[in-house]
A = this chain, B = another copy of it.
Amino acid sequence: MPRDIAGLKGILPPIPTPFSNRDEFARDRLRDNIRAWNRSALTGYVVLGSNGEGVLLSPRERLDVLSAAREDIPDDRWMVAGTGCPSTHETVELARYAAKIGADVALVLPPSYYRGRMTREALVRHYASVADAAGIPILIYNMPACTGMDLDAETIVALAAHPNVIGIKDSGGDVVKLGAVHAALGARFRVFAGSAGFLLPALAMGAVGGILALANIAPAECLAIHEAFVSGRVDAARQIQLRMIPINAAVTSRWGVAGLKAAMDLLGRYGGPVRGPLVDLTEREIAELEAMLDRAGLTREEERGLRS
């Protein structure tokens, strides 16, 4: 039985896929990370998003990672599975697999290789095929920095005409668009900030939460922004929000997954290496990142005893 969509809100990290030094999926490391994150009030986890290096995994590995995550994620947390693939057929197959193993929601990136031909009609057709067949609700994943396509409000509203398309993670940062989408579709369509840099302004516009790379390394802070906002303490929310902007940029636009994994290593989680063509941070970059974590007030959880 599908979960009540009203519960899909708050903070979810799109978790990295841990690799061993031999570039293999490090299954135990995933379990350790999820156990640690479970100590926070995170709503759930996104598996195989951009930070999960999903596009760099083989088809077999994708199934393995989803299955492993399903084992590790407790029943009271949401599991969102990234299932976007270049072809409609593959996307349907992966979403169906995700449904079969018990993922709650499929996160679907728009196919972008032939972006010049991805008209609104083509996208509606693609999402409808997936939403018809998946067996679980679909969350749109707008990620212009990776796809080179920025879904506009009209397109999002057109995609949402399918009853099984229940929301969006938007990483583009255009909060006016988020507001327009929320105004058009109301609370039944779940809008999530896709990057922690604009979590607070997105909430102000009607977003219900955030799917945030930063939540992997600063779950307490991301949760605190959300909680302060919903309890009417906008000034308190802003203070944390502003403090998070530089470190969020470091682990997203500036250094991406490699930066995020390095930060996890520095903070007592398992980050480990990225997979080529991505490149690990240099020693020098790691030192710079460490200083930024420090300025943001982020230290090993064990040392600060942060809970949320």
Measuring CB to CB, which residues of chain A are less than 8 angstroms from any residue of chain B?
Answer: 23, 50, 55-59, 86-90, 111-119, 121-123, 125-126, 129, 145-148, 173-176, 179-180, 182-183, 197-198, 200-206, 229, 232, 234, 237-238, 241-243, 245-246, 253, 255-258, 275-279
Enumerate chain B residues within 8 angstroms of A176, measured Cβ to Cβ. Answer: 173, 197-198, 245
Best-surrounded residue of A87, A111, A113, A237 (most CB of chain B within 10 A): A113
Do B179 and A275 have beta carbons less than 8 Å apart?
no
Nearest B residue to A57, CB-CB: B87
Task: Tell me the bound Cα distance from A56 to B151 in angstroms.
Answer: 21
Chain B positions within 8 Å of A200 at CB level: 201, 204-205
Cβ contact of A126, chosen from B203, B246, B276, cutoff 8 A? B276
Measured in the bound complex, the distance between the Cα atoms of B148 and A115 in whole Å is 9
Choose among A174, A203, A278 the residue with the greatest number of B CB atoms under 10 Å from its CB: A278
Smallest Cβ distance from A154 to chain B, in angstroms? 12
Among candidates B55, B122, B180, B203, residue contacting A113 with C-beta atoms closer than 8 Å: B55
A256 touches B116 (CB 8 A): yes
A125 CA to B246 CA in the complex, in Å? 27
Docked pose: A180 CA to B197 CA in angstroms: 9
Q: Which residues of B contact A58 (CB under 8 A)?
A: 59, 90
How far is it, in angstroms, between the C-alpha of A57 and the C-alpha of B88 when the chains are bound? 11
Residue from B89, B201, B229, B278 within 8 A of A175 (CB atoms): B201
